[in-house]
Structure formats: C-alpha cells, structure tokens
Amino acid sequence: MNIKILTFAALLFSIQMVHAEKYMMIMGGGGEPTGDKTIFDSTMKVLGENIKTSNWKYQTSFNGGHAETEKLMSAHFPTPSAQSNSFTPENYKKMIADYTAKINSGAINSGDQLMILINTHGAAKSTNEEKIHQIAASGGSGATNLNNLAGTKLVSLNDLGPLIELATGKGIKLGLVDLSCHSGNSQEFKKLYPKACIVTATGPKHYGFAGDSAFSGTFMKNLKKGVTLEGAFLKARAEANDASYPMISTDENNQIVAQIYSSMTPYLYYYDPTSDKLTDYILQASKDCITCTRETQFKTIIAQIEALQAATNGTKGSYNGDELKRLLQLYKDQQDEMIKSGIALGSENLNKQETFSSTLTIRGKKEPYVYKHTFSVREILLLNPGNTIATFERYRDKAKTPGEIAESQVVIDGFNKIKKRREEIIAQYPKLKDVETENANRVKQIGSNRETAEKIALQEKKFYDEMYRQKQSMNTEEPCRRIVF
C-alpha cells in the first residue's frame, strides 16, 4: 500500500513539474592564481553538457581573468537567460538582487524551481557571528591560504539568506549546492530555512576538492534530467574519490552527521604544505589534553561500525566494516604517537594564562599608574622582554614630566617580571619553545598521510551509504526529493 501511494505521489509530482519552470544561478570560479585555466574547468564543462539536455533557464556569474575558462563558459553555457559576467563582489550582489526582483514580480512563481550552484574556493568560518562562510570571488592574486583564502576577494554566503527566505516562503522549490571547501557551514541554512535543500561538497572542517573524481566532479556528472538532488548526491558521494565529507540537508544525513562527523573528522586530516590541517589538530590535542575525548570518540565510531555490521549480517549485500576499522586504528596509532611527542615536550602548558602587573604612585597623583597584562605561555615564549625594557628605558630617560617617567617605569617593572618568568619556564621546560616546530617536523617525518586519509574516506563513504539506506524514509515532502534536475 505504501509503495502504491508513493508511486502515485511521484506520478502526480511529475505531472505538476511539467508546468513548473526551472531557474539556475551559477556562480564561482574565484580565488585562482594568474593563468589561462582554473581547477574548476572540467566540472563546469560537464554541468554545461547536462544543462543542454534539460530545460533550465540559467544565468552565470563565473570566474574572470582566465582566457581558456572564459572560452569554456561561452561554449558550454551558450544561452543564458541574462548576460553572463565575472564573479565579482558587485556582480554577486547584483545577481541576488535580480532574482529577488524576479520572485517579487511573479516572474518566478510558487512551484517553480530555483537552484543556486556555487563552484569556487571556500574559507573556513572565521567567527561565531558569521552564520555561514565566505567564498572566493574573482580578483586578487589567488588564494594563498586555503583556510582563510588570503590573497583573494571574498563574498559572504550570508547574503543569500534573504533570497532563500523569500523563495521558500513563496513556495518555490529552492536548492543550494555549495561545492567549495568548508562548505558544510552552508548546512546552517537548513536550520534557518527548513524548506530549502542544501548540498555541500564537504563538512565545515574539511577541504573540498576539484576534478572529475572528486565529489564536485561526480556530482556534476550525476546531475541529469529527471534525477532528484538527493539521488544525484547519494550516487556522487558513493563514487567520489577524495578525503572530503559531503553532506545533504535531509533528516537521514543530519542523523548520521550527529552520530559520526565529529568522530570521523580527525581521520580525514592529512599533512600537506599548502593545505595542512593535521599539524594544528595534533598541536591542539597535545596542549589541550583532549586525549580522553579523543578516546571516547574513537570507541563510539568503532561501536557504530560494529552495530551496522550486526544489523545487516545475513542480509543480501551485508555491510562489512572491517577495513574501515583497520584503517581508523592504523591512523589513530600514528596520531597518538604525534600527540605523545607533543605532550612530552610540554605542549599542554602552552595555553595556560599568566597575568603580570606592576603599580607606581607618584606624589600629587591620586590614582597610581598600573601596568597589567595577561599572556599565554606561548606568547611569553615569543616575547623579547629585553628589547621592550630597553625601549621604555629610553622613553623614561627622555621623559620631561614625572607622569611620563612613571608611565615608562611601570611598563619596565612589568616586563622585568615577564623576563624573569620566561627564564623560569625555559628552565622548567627547555624544549617547550620549540614545540610547534617539533610537532610540525614529527608530522612530516610520518609522511603526508593523504593516502591513508583518502582510503579512510572511501571506506567511510560505504559506511555512510549503508547507514543512509537503513534510515531512509519515504517522505515525499523532503525538499531534496522534490527538486528534479
């Protein structure tokens, strides 16, 4: 009975879709260094070919400054519904304003589809006040840091919020596809606008990747006429060959992420000179003594793998998680050695805070001159108090009033205390001042571990896929099942 109902609902939905219009905003290609091409070219070519077989009214705001990329966009997106342009901050805001106007005027109506597709570099979320994250626009010298995208112009995806709210509020089926690094931050849109479908190439703490075998490439390949966003996502996630963590805003995914993501996160990190997350994680684990949390998370994920094995045992295509467990244990052992090395150097002391103060009262002044400042042990080791003392001694000797003399002297007294404390710390932990360099060297000696992380990611994708099937419902109102390419 449920199957018949679901089939009838799907048929009715298909009939309704005949009369619905489909609109797509395509943007990205920013943050690339000077040259003729970008890393996004091959995936955009595939998207262009797939669009030609469907009935999308699309507009592109993509790249700017790469000759071969510009030719590719012209050749594979030849009939935009409005003039194509470069992905500058100004054009980004203009595109949002244009589609907002189309919705308000009734040009895009209830029941229509609007897909926002982003294919560019993405930054990690910088502050708690930033709801989503920033992405790279065209301009600048190209991203020199893949975490904060220094060197390129940025735009904030927060700016998409009002458009998503307007569209979903008017019954427009809206899908946002963010294929950038750290795109998991865009899943926050689902909490704000539950009627939207959000697809992201990775989690909030991980890089995304470009290329045909990465999720961005397999997703573009699977965006074919008649396929839902959920269907394209699941097939692409299973086929992807990279150390990312793709997400979709369905209830099934959200349950899995709540159970798995934080535990899996450390094992998708690896050392790379241009995109290193592993060193910071190891240093943080060493100095913050999070060993107990780390152990608990590891036991939890192993237990979840074994529970899934038990649940599917004896069934056709039963899940076997032995290889995932083996790889996780291997990588955990390697990371544990790095963490132990950091702890042996005393790195757990680096974040401890110490306050230094000195007070000086001069005749005729009611309020004393006070120097008070708090430094972490790490900051104390980086300071050169001797230079600061010498500088303020010069200020004091040139001072012309008792107040100016007192101001300089109170700082000198404070930094003499800091100098003494720095000497005590170095005497107690002689290797502590070199801990960050030592940790980085330790990671390099073990190797990049990218191959291990990618092997884990491949096994994680099988694990995710089976968990998703176990949880999958027949909810035909799920937004990601109602948007059809």
Would you say the C-alpha torsion 392, 395, 399, 401 has a positive or negative sign? negative
Q: 66 pLDDT exceeds 70?
A: yes
Average pLDDT on 163-185 reads 98
Residues 338 and 363 placed together within one structural domain of the fold: no
Top pLDDT among 337 and 14 is at: 337
Residues 125 and 241 placed together within one structural domain of the fold: yes
For 35-86, what is the HEC assignment? CCCCCCHHHHHHHHHHHCCCCEEEEEEECCCCHHHHHHHHHHCCCCCCCCEC
Residues 355 and 342 placed together within one structural domain of the fold: no
Tell whether 271 is covered by a domain: no
Residues 365 and 222 placed together within one structural domain of the fold: no
Tell whether 239 is covered by a domain: yes
Residues 157 and 296 placed together within one structural domain of the fold: no
Based on the structure, what is the number of domains in the chain?
Answer: 3
Longest dimension (CA), the chain: 94
Q: Residue 388 — φ and ψ, nearest 5°?
A: -65, -40
Map tokens 């100095």 to a residue.
287
Q: Round to whole Å and give the CA distance between 79 and 67.
A: 19
Expressed in angstroms, the distance from the first to the final Cα of the chain is 28
Q: 17 pLDDT exceeds 50?
A: no
Q: Three-state SS for 476?
A: coil
Residues 172 and 295 placed together within one structural domain of the fold: no
Picking from 174, 171, 147, 141, the residue whose alpha carbon sits closest to that of residue 160 is 174
Residues 310 and 213 placed together within one structural domain of the fold: no
Angle made by CA atoms 351, 352, 354, in degrees to the nearest 5: 130
Q: Round to whole Å and give the CA distance between 466 and 320.
A: 10
Residues 230 and 312 placed together within one structural domain of the fold: no
Question: What's the pLDDT score for residue 7?
Answer: 46
Tell whether 154 is covered by a domain: yes
Question: What's the pLDDT score for residue 346?
Answer: 61
Instruction: Tell me which DSSP letter residue 228 carries.
Output: B
Picking from 242, 435, 214, 456, the residue whose alpha carbon sits closest to that of residue 334 is 456
What value does the mean pLDDT of the chain take?
87
Tell whether 468 is covered by a domain: no
Would you say the C-alpha torsion 320, 323, 329, 335 has a positive or negative sign? negative
Write down the pTM of the prediction.
Answer: 0.78
Top pLDDT among 84 and 4 is at: 84
Q: Which domain holds residue 413?
A: 349-430
Residues 284 and 296 placed together within one structural domain of the fold: yes
Q: Round to whole Å and give the CA distance between 296 and 62.
A: 44
Residues 142 and 166 placed together within one structural domain of the fold: yes
Residues 193 and 330 placed together within one structural domain of the fold: no
Tell whether 186 is covered by a domain: yes
pLDDT tens readout for residues 192-234: 999 999 999 999 999 999 999 999 999 999 999 999 999 999 9
Taking the C-alpha atoms of 412, 416, 418 and 424 in order, what is their torsion angle to the nearest 10 degrees? 170
Residues 23 and 163 placed together within one structural domain of the fold: yes
